[in-house]
């Protein structure tokens, strides 16, 4: 059996490769949408995605809770327990599909309220909505529940590979529809939308086939003990509230922009958000790839050992986050200009807010990984409620006064001052009980400072050189890489976890073996 380090390495490598493939297909797809249909269609596509993300809250976070419940029986090879959990998972997902259908139909009368009278001609808002709703429902009705086996068994790479293959297939179908029917944009967009439910059905069938082939011993049978069900309910309740804040954070921004500023501004906003979110997707996949290994470690290792690992992972993850933030500060504007033209550019002020937004999304991500792996959703149940209410309130208030900037600043405020501080406190209060949260927060603040210094240096270079096009992206990217790494190494080399973190990174990537060969 592969070790946790081997599993983590395999999951990270395959996750990054597959995410890069998905990023490329998404990039091509959005480019085709903008060039052939225009930014209003791009805004409409982003709006439907945001609405259905909120609707997916009916899933209640049951997937994460079930994966957590499978860690221990998989480690102990308790086949009856896994079979019973799979049966429960399947039953719950079918119920979720029913509830999603009812809620989805119930909210249709309110759809015109969130489209600011700029729906492209020939399109029926309700038809498009039901196509997208059907795609979401189908994802729960079939065999999606069996993907939990791959995740809990530290084989998250299989889920990534399946998703990537069908993402490419979907993109090809959608591009063909748009190009072949470009003379009738509304018809092209209908076929573009219909490609989603078709590939969703095929993807879930492949998931079922592979899971049966790899895990033939697991079938949907047996009964989960009442005590275990009560524990799952508690974790689901906490996870649901946590998921509310995450989904609302990412979806309400788009909905508020559409309702108050229009689909055209939403399309412009999403050109930036797409880049930020695509890179975030890679980072989240990296973190998700080690979650199962962290969960296994929490079960079998001491808290002291886990905290040592926590500090190393935190150091490396923030290094990556800081580097990407500085690259955005240097390269985002030249890239947007090259990709979709100067008409889609925001000012440097909003670009800076996007960079802060990206950093904020990830600065407490490692803490989030350990909270999930430790199953602390119930203990964290009140924070998401507060975050969601504050975020929605500030979104609506600030968008009226400062537009897109107001929407983003309200989200940043909630991420930093509600999730970042309160969420961290949950982990230290209920798991790392012998460690001091204050030391951890000071290190985060120090990372913020180092990143800001590096960004300021790169922005000055960007403003005074005035390069354009691919040359600007390459040169500024190299400068950002050098500046950030120099600042980060000089600023962190005195920390006790710095050298162990570097050694850990070399080992998990396999570079340590390569270095030894050259010695």
What is the DSSP code string of 409-460? HHHHHHIIIIIIIIIHHHHHHHTSTTS-HHHHHHHHHHHHHHHHHHHHHHHH
Among 187, 216, 233, where does a domain finish?
Answer: 233
Same domain, 14 and 114: yes
- The residue among 104, 109, 115 whose CA lies nearest residue 41 is 115
> Tokens at residue 61, please?
């976070």
> Tokens at residue 136, please?
């979401």
- Cβ(235)–Cβ(65) below 8 Å: yes
Among 233, 264, 283, where does a domain finish?
Answer: 233
Tracing tokens 């100067």 back to the chain, one arrives at: 342
Among 233, 262, 278, where does a domain finish?
Answer: 233
Instruction: Supply the DSSP symbol for 478.
Output: H
Is 65 domain-assigned? yes
For 20-47, give the secondary structure using H, E and C.
HHHHHHHHHHHHHHHHHHCHHHHHHHHH
| pLDDT digit string (tens) for the chain, length 519 residues | 455 566 666 667 777 777 788 778 888 888 888 888 877 787 788 777 777 666 655 455 566 667 777 877 877 888 888 888 888 888 888 888 888 888 888 888 888 877 766 677 778 888 888 888 888 888 777 777 788 788 777 777 787 788 888 888 989 999 999 989 888 888 888 998 899 888 888 888 888 888 888 888 888 888 888 877 877 777 676 666 666 666 677 677 888 888 888 888 888 888 898 888 888 877 876 676 677 677 777 877 788 888 888 888 888 889 999 999 999 998 999 999 888 888 888 888 999 999 999 999 888 888 888 887 787 777 777 888 888 889 889 999 999 889 899 999 999 998 888 888 888 888 898 888 888 888 888 988 999 999 999 999 988 887 788 788 899 899 999 999 999 999 999 998 888 888 888 887 777 666 666 666 655
Same domain, 314 and 226: no
410: containing domain: 301-519
Is 198 domain-assigned? yes
The answer for residues whose C-beta is within 8 angstroms of residue 162's C-beta and 6 or more apart is 147, 203, 206, 207, 210
Is 348 domain-assigned? yes
Is 246 domain-assigned? no
Element spanning 475, H or E: helix 469-492
Same domain, 404 and 519: yes
Same domain, 55 and 180: yes
Same domain, 140 and 3: yes
- Cβ(55)–Cβ(259) below 8 Å: no
Q: Into how many domains does the chain fold?
A: 2
Same domain, 201 and 110: yes
Is 276 domain-assigned? no
Q: What is the pLDDT of residue 244?
A: 67
Instruction: Supply the DSSP symbol for 381.
Output: S
Same domain, 309 and 220: no
Same domain, 369 and 490: yes
- Cβ(360)–Cβ(412) below 8 Å: yes
Is 258 domain-assigned? no
Give the distance from CA 60 to its chain's centroid. Answer: 17
- Cβ(148)–Cβ(89) below 8 Å: yes
Read off φ and ψ for residue 358, nearest 5 degrees: -60, -50
Same domain, 222 and 307: no
Is 444 domain-assigned? yes
Is 147 domain-assigned? yes
Distances (CA, A) of 224 to 87, 90, 115, 160, 220: 9, 13, 45, 29, 11
- Distance between CA atoms of residues 138 and 200, nearest Å: 7
Query: What number of other Cβ atoms are within 10 A of residue 493's Cβ?
Result: 10
Same domain, 225 and 312: no
- Cβ(58)–Cβ(99) below 8 Å: yes
> Tokens at residue 184, please?
């009738």
- Cβ(415)–Cβ(280) below 8 Å: no
Same domain, 213 and 353: no
Tracing tokens 């079998």 back to the chain, one arrives at: 300
Same domain, 367 and 496: yes
Query: What number of other Cβ atoms are within 10 A of residue 401's Cβ?
Result: 8
Considering the entire predicted model, what is its pTM? 0.74
């Amino acid at each position: 059996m592969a070790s946790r380090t081997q599993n983590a390495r395999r999951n990270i490598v395959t996750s990054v490769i597959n995410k890069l493939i998905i990023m490329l297909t998404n990039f091509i797809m959005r480019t085709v949408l903008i060039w052939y249909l225009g930014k209003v269609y791009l805004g409409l596509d982003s709006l439907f995605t945001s609405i259905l993300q909120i609707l997916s809250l009916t899933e209640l976070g049951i997937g994460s809770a079930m994966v957590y419940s499978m860690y221990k029986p998989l480690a102990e090879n308790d086949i009856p327990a896994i079979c019973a959990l799979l049966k429960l998972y399947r039953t719950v997902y079918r119920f979720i599909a029913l509830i999603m259908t009812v809620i989805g139909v119930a909210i249709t009368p309110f759809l015109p309220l969130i489209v600011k009278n700029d729906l492209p001609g020939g399109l029926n808002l309700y038809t498009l909505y039901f196509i997208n709703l059907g795609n979401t429902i189908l994802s729960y009705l079939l065999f999606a529940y069996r993907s939990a086996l791959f995740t809990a068994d530290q084989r998250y790479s299989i889920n990534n590979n399946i998703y990537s293959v069908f993402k490419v297939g979907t993109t090809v179908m959608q591009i063909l529809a748009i190009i072949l029917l470009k003379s009738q944009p509304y018809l092209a967009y209908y076929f573009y939308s219909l490609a989603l439910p078709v590939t969703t059905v095929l993807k879930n069938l492949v998931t079922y086939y592979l899971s049966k082939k790899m895990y033939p011993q697991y079938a949907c049978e047996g009964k989960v003990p009442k005590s275990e069900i009560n524990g799952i309910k508690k974790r689901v309740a906490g996870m649901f509230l946590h998921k509310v804040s995450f989904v609302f954070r990412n979806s309400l921004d788009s909905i508020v922009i559409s309702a108050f500023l229009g689909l055209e501004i939403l399309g412009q906003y999403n050109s930036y958000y797409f880049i930020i979110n695509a890179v975030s997707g890679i980072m989240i996949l990296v973190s998700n790839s080690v979650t199962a290994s962290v969960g296994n470690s929490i079960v079998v290792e001491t808290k002291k050992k886990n905290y040592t690992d926590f500090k190393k992972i935190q150091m490396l993850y923030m290094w990556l986050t800081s580097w990407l933030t500085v690259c955005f500060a240097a390269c985002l504007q030249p890239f947007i200009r090259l990709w979709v033209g100067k008409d889609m550019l925001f000012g440097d002020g909003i670009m800076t807010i996007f960079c802060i937004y990206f950093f904020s999304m990830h600065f407490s991500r490692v803490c989030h990984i350990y909270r999930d792996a430790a199953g602390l959703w119930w203990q964290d149940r009140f924070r998401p409620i507060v975050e969601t209410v504050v975020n929605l309130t500030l979104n609506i208030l600030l968008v009226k006064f400062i537009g897109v900037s107001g929407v983003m600043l309200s989200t940043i405020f909630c991420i930093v001052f509600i999730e970042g501080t309160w969420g961290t406190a949950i982990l230290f209060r209920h798991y790392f009980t012998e460690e001091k949260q204050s030391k951890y927060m000071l290190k985060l603040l120090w990372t913020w400072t180092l990143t800001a210094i590096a960004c300021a240096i790169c922005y000055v270079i960007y403003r005074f050189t005035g390069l354009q096009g691919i040359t600007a992206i390459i040169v500024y990217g190299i400068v950002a890489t050098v500046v950030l790494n120099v600042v980060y190494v000089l600023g962190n080399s005195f920390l006790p976890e710095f050298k162990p973190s570097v050694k850990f990174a070399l080992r998990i990537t396999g570079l340590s073996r390569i270095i030894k060969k050259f010695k």
